[in-house]
Structure 1
Amino acid sequence: MNAVGERTRATVVAREVRKSFSVGRGSRRRVVDVLRGVSLRVEPGEMVGIVGPSGSGKSTLLYCLSGLESADAGSIEVMGRQVVRASRTALFKTRRDHVGFIFQSYNLVPSLSAGENVSLPARLAGRPLTTEQTAAVLASVGLEGRAKSRPADMSGGEQQRVAIARALAGGADVIFADEPTGALDSRNGREMLGMLRGIADDPQRSVVMVTHDLEAASLADRVLVLKDGRVLRELGRSAPAEILEALEAAR
């Protein structure tokens, strides 16, 4: 784990992040600018929501911030470590030591049990968990006694809980969540959001979440509204109606 002094810095600092993709072939090939100079800062103990219309670049931004996608230009620091143009080894260490990611599709290893999925990142980081530690992390997300269950035997809500436990067990300083409630029913979605809010309330961790769910976004301390690859507006903690109004202005 990091020293206390290191945890006082911002978990994520991004400056003028740009990303383009080539689409089409031959004479129809063209370059699409997805991110056009996005800057943001995420503090420890903060939950930041990212919203915007389809094609605004919000998921691409999340992937670039977490190091899962390479940005073309700009600067991204996660716990003080540069992500843009970092070597593969340096990028692996940053993600291993500081980053947790929660996907809409869970991304659990189907051949591994819940306990094995949870303990995998810690083992890869050279900090293997004991059976008791793994069970305790699962119990903290309401999955007591489910360490030996495989993903195929679990509901969507339970699988997403395993994904959260996996991020927590890895000791992540910042958890990136991409539409974490998108595949869940309303009850499981509310429970999932409560867990993410609880993580962000930890003064040593942050949550950055992309969502189309206004109720989910309303739990964030700040909401960034993206349009055409830029931050159109930044809101403080806002009611769903206020976020909807900002989104309508971005369409």
Structure 2
Amino acid sequence: MAFSVVVKDVQKTFVTGRGRAKRTTPVLRGVSLSVRPKEMVAIVGPSGSGKSTLLYCMSGLEAVDGGSIEVMGQQVADASRNALSRIRRQHVGFIFQSYNLLPSLSARENVALPARLAGRPVSDARLNETLERVGLAGRERNRPQDLSGGEQQRVAIARVLASAPDVVFADEPTGALDTKNGREVLGMLRDIADEPSRSVVMVTHDLEAASMADRVLILRDGLILREMGRSSSKEILDAMEAAA
């Protein structure tokens, strides 16, 4: 398959209020992009540019008003709820800034859950290997409230590794982390993208994080204004300022 994700002319508008107080706010104004296997793509832009909305639409977590989105050759934009659930279980992993772990489950149980829900139970050996890979050996029985922020994000990444999705969507994955933990988490995401059949799409305000991507897309006012190859944080900043 040539592309993991294909987005064509995607539009999204939010409507708030009623009657005379009703307001219509265009958030995505016709976004098109594609992502290949073994590629890490970073989406950057100012607050309110539509970055997170685009990521949620691409992963099927948010409906679109127009356009087309394919993930691993399957249409997401107009899929039924059941079809969307199937696509996400089979092909998609999501890493949230807020970790999105179940507080009643241990780290080990949180890691195993998505794969089991997808009908691909993970062996104890694979769970142990995955937890060790992200530096959580010895912490697997702890619940989220007993883990640091960096450790919780490692659980979220281990959850993705264990379920082995084709595409990983990451929304500000280092936003709640200190510099050291942030760099380590980015290294793990880079490792995922370096696997032949995997792709990572990351939204970030962190230009150092964006500099680790193979491509950088600059989004502003719901449009992609520029696409760059692998670039330094300064080059990305200069491009963002030029696009302002």
Whichever residue aligns with residue 195 of structure 2, its letter is: D
Q: What does 1:50-89 align with in structure 2 at a 5 Å threshold?
A: 50-89=43-82
Match of 1:216 in 2: 209
Q: Quick one: percent identity of the two aligned structures?
A: 69
Deviations 1:98-146 (A, max 9, x none): 0000000000000000010000011101111222221211111111122
Q: What does 1:49-198 align with in structure 2 at a 5 Å threshold?
A: 49-198=42-191
Contact 1:50 1:225 in 2 (8 A): yes
Which residue of 14, 19, 29 corresponds with 1:36? 29
State how far apart, in whole Å, the 1-side matches of 2:183 and 2:136 are: 16
Q: Look up the SS of the partner of 2:195 in the other structure.
A: coil
Match of 1:9 in 2: 2
Whichever residue aligns with residue 9 of structure 1, its letter is: A
Count of residue pairs the alignment pairs up = 244
Match of 1:3 in 2: none
Instruction: Give the drift of 1:25.
Output: 3.3
Gaps of 5+ in 2: none
- TM-score when scaled to structure 1? 0.95
State how far apart, in whole Å, the 2-side matches of 1:48 and 1:164 are: 17
State how far apart, in whole Å, the 1-side matches of 2:204 and 2:120 are: 32
State how far apart, in whole Å, the 2-side matches of 1:119 and 1:75 are: 32
State how far apart, in whole Å, the 2-side matches of 1:80 and 1:72 are: 20
Whichever residue aligns with residue 199 of structure 1, its letter is: I
Q: Which moved more, 1:45-54 or 1:22-31?
A: 22-31
Cα-Cα RMSD: 0.9
Instruction: Give the drift of 1:24.
Output: 3.0
Q: Look up the SS of the partner of 1:143 in the other structure.
A: coil
Q: Look up the SS of the partner of 1:27 in the other structure.
A: helix
Instruction: Give the drift of 1:61.
Output: 0.2
Match of 1:26 in 2: 19
Q: Look up the SS of the partner of 1:144 in the other structure.
A: coil
State how far apart, in whole Å, the 2-side matches of 1:25 and 1:189 are: 42
Q: What does 1:222-237 align with in structure 2 at a 5 Å threshold?
A: 222-237=215-230
Deviations 1:15-45 (A, max 9, x none): 0011000023331211111001100000000
